[in-house]
């Protein structure tokens, strides 16, 4: 178990875990502070690296899309409202949920991520093209 100390963004080790008679102490990890994340996170670079087919991560993205369909598809989770905390600039994780939740609320810490989504919703030029991902999800869903 780790303790995330509020405001310091540091994980502190709370215990030692034993694996195969060897003991490991979890190292202290420093996280980027909120101000740096707010000023430096690049939503376009994130989308190009983690949400684009052909970026070298196709297998990972396909796996995620399949598991999201299994989670939110027929017989899966559903309800009146889905609250997504930490959406980032991405929507791929919400595509299969659209049919199961009539209301989806997205949130994010950084202004740039929220602005990227708002620009996409307004269909502004230069925003991320989700058409390949949407087509992949539709194929998974059998074009439902």
Q: Are 108 and 84 in contact (CB under 8 A)?
A: no
- pTM here is 0.71
Residue 19: per-residue pLDDT: 42
Give the C-alpha separation, 35 to 39, whole Å.
Answer: 6
pLDDT one-digit tens code per residue, 24-36: 444 555 667 788 8
87 φ, ψ to 5°?
-60, -35
Q: Which helix (H) or strand (E) holds 11?
A: strand 10-13
What domains are defined for the chain? Answer: 1-31 (no CATH), 41-141 (3.40.50.150)
Joined together, the tokens standing for residue 86 give: 């930490």
């Amino acid at each position: 178990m780790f303790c995330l100390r509020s405001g310091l963004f540091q994980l502190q080790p709370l215990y030692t875990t034993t694996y195969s008679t060897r003991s490991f102490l979890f190292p202290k990890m420093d996280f980027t502070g909120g101000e740096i994340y707010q000023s430096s996170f690049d939503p376009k670079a994130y989308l190009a690296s983690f949400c684009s087919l052909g970026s070298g991560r196709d297998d990972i993205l396909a796996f995620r899309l399949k598991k999201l369909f299994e989670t939110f598809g027929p017989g899966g989770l559903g309800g009146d409202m889905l609250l997504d905390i930490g959406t980032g600039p991405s929507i791929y994780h919400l595509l299969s949920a659209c049919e199961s939740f009539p209301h989806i609320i997205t949130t994010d810490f950084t202004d740039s991520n929220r602005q990227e989504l708002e620009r996409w919703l307004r269909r502004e030029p230069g925003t991320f093209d989700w058409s390949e991902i949407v087509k992949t999800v539709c194929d998974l869903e059998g074009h439902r």
